Amino acid sequence: MKKALLSVAAVAALSTAASAAAITLYQDTATGAIYTKPGAGRVELGDFVSAKEQYVEKQSMLSKINKKLGVKVKSGVPVLKFSGTHYLGYHYTDYDADLKADVSKFETRRNYFQAKAYWNKHDYARITLDTFQHTAVAGNDNSIGSWEVRLKYAYLYLSDVLPYTGVEFGQVHRPWIDYEEHNGWLYRSISETFVETHNAAHAINSSAPGVNFKTKTDYFTSEIGLFNDAGYHGVKTGTGQSFEWRLTYNALGTGKHHVHATEDEWLNISFYGRYLTGTDAGRNKDTMTGIHAVYNQPMFLIAGHWMKNQAEKNHVTDSRDGDGWSVNGEFRPVDKWSILARYDKWNVTDGDIDKKNLIYGVAYTYNKNVKFIANGISYSEDRHDTTNNDKNDYMLTAEVKW
């Protein structure tokens, strides 16, 4: 309240200061000469102030107000942009196995805080922090269950280092997942993409230390780069680097645009993948290849893809070694309401495991900053052993962006 009153007072004070220094000018109709006093043959021109005096007085007044408010922001760049994203919700898990206890909990699945520092219109440095709950099993680790902060992105972006191409350097986006979250699967708040989720391929995560060249034209976009294979979740070992790519044909010419699902129409066909050789995390080789297509218009979205991953981990079975497909859609029958669904199928090559993952739900857009989602996830595994990991999840989510 104090700051609000001071702000109102500032406006009033500045206005008063400006008008207090005003003088009335008059012009002689015959000669055009300017006078400060009325007289015969002179017409009033209006009230005027000295621009120099007004500027000095305003700066003095603002300096006094800022001291009272106690607010001072300094930066080495002309523009700072801050934003945040929160996935808040309730989650109930019903396990099929009798030996696994059901779980009911409120949760903050993700809280992202982001800052960008621009020194010109296109080039900037970015940092994004992400909260997560530490659940790893470890001997006497007292941090298990606590909420911790993890670095998601920290990179330098330079535009036009090549024709139509900018570059991210540092801890950067990997080529595929961020693209799909903005063009094909728009509900990261309830589930990761087919490529990332534990319920399907679980092949890679979304960021990693490395370098990523990003090309944008109307009809073609791409991302090509080298990265630490373990990504931002794991520790880098060995000498291998992961070469990853995405090549996209934007059939409707939307490649340069930041598209909005309820306003724009796009048809994109993508080829993506990666190639890893070396000794990272005990792997001898890891090759991923995928094809994806998506069509969106304001009433609906339909997307799907096929992906194969060959993960060799010292000749030991890796659940990421397999192939599968996914299809998802969203129907928007009336303003602000959406019906969503997705089906994933993943076959582990040597493990005799067949994963099936069904997501379904309804979403309501409260305003441009908040969306509410009610959904279920039905997950099952066909296995050669007696392990039962089948479960049903029921979720209520508030997706908040500012």
Same domain, 32 and 174: no
Q: Residue 11 pLDDT more than 60? A: no
Which of 51, 69, 87 is where one domain is finished?
69
| Residue at a domain's end among 69, 90, 106 | 69
248 shares a domain with 140: yes
Q: Are 207 and 339 in a shared domain?
A: yes
Q: pLDDT tens digits for 253-289? A: 999 999 999 999 999 999 999 998 765 555 557 899 9
pLDDT band at residue 79 under the 50/70/90 scheme: very high
> What CA–CA distances, in Å, run from 167 to 107, 125, 215, 220?
35, 12, 9, 17
- Alpha helix ranges (H) inside 139-230: 177-183
Q: Is there a single domain that holds both residue 83 and residue 106?
A: yes
Nearest to 149 by CA among 232, 265, 223: 232
Instruction: Give per-residue pLDDT as tens, 95-130.
Output: 998 889 999 999 999 999 999 999 999 999 999 999
Same domain, 23 and 144: no
Q: Are residues 40 and 147 in the same domain?
A: no
pLDDT above 90 covers a percentage of the chain that reads 65
Residue 74 is assigned to a structural domain of this protein: no
Any alpha helices (H) in 121-186, and if so which ranges? 177-183
**How many Cα atoms sit within 13 Å of 348 on the Cβ side?**
22
Q: Note whether 376 and 360 are within 8 A (CB).
A: yes
Nearest to 305 by CA among 287, 321, 328: 328
The range of the structural domain enclosing residue 13 comes to: 2-69
pLDDT at 21: 62
pLDDT at 319: 74
Q: Measure the CA–CA gap between 271 and 245, rounded to whole angstroms.
A: 8
Chain centroid to Cα 325, Å, comes to 25
Q: Does position 3 have pLDDT exceeding 80, yes or no?
A: no
Q: Domain containing 147 — which CATH number? A: 2.40.160.10
Q: Which residues contact 340 (CB under 8 A, 6 or more apart)?
A: 187, 328, 329, 330, 331, 359, 360, 361, 362, 363, 373, 375
Q: Is residue 2 predicted with pLDDT exceeding 80?
A: no
Instruction: Quote the Cα angle for 198-225-197, to 5°.
Output: 10
Domain assignment present for residue 134? The answer is yes
Domain final residue pick, 69, 96, 111:
69
CA distance 248 to 272: 8
Is the Cβ–Cβ distance between 331 and 299 less than 8 Å? yes
Residues 19 and 126 reside in one and the same domain: no
Tell me how many domains the chain contains: 2
Tokens of 338: 């959406």
Same domain as 387, residue 315: yes
Residues 57 and 141 in one domain: no
The string of DSSP codes covering 32-43 is --EESS--TTEE
Residues 16 and 126 in one domain: no
Alpha-carbon distance of 147 to 56, in angstroms, equals 50
Same domain, 394 and 300: yes
Closest among 300, 305, 304 to 332, alpha carbons compared: 300
Q: Is the dihedral of CA 94, 100, 104, 110 positive or negative?
A: negative
For residue 152, which of 137, 163, 168 has the smallest C-alpha distance? 168
Q: Is residue 189 part of a domain?
A: yes
Residue 272 lies in a domain: yes
For residues 85 and 52, membership in a common domain is answered with no
**pLDDT value for 19:** 47
- 323-337: pLDDT as tens digits: 999 999 999 999 999
